[in-house]
Amino acid sequence: MTQVFVWIGIERVSDMSPILREIETVLKKYGIEKIDGDTSISSITYITLICELENVFQIEFPDEVLMTNILFDLEYLERVITHLIDNKKTI
């Protein structure tokens, strides 16, 4: 049986990308099961989630990305994280 998750009103089957699975794990850790137009989180929770995502993916979100409501568009969030991972500079 295929599991279906609902994010932003879009059904996603359980074979979602590893990045989306990790995002889902972080959100669930903070009690967020579903994100849609009615979802409301405090500014402290928002900052905590951003920091947690930065730690999990070992990235740092640029300020201009944080000016948007990035957590409420998971497809955009996935693209941003993928881009930041792919463009990490090696030391």
Per-residue pLDDT tens digits for 25-69: 999 998 888 777 667 788 898 899 999 999 999 999 999 888 877
- Helix ranges (H only) for 5-73 are 18-29, 43-57, 63-66
Give every CB contact of residue 10 below 8 A, 6+ residues apart in sequence.
none
pLDDT of residue 49: 93
Best CA proximity match to 23, nearest among 69, 66, 68, 79: 79
Place of tokens 């049986």: 1
Per-residue pLDDT tens over the stretch 65-77: 888 778 888 888 9
78 falls in which pLDDT band (50, 70, 90)?
Answer: very high
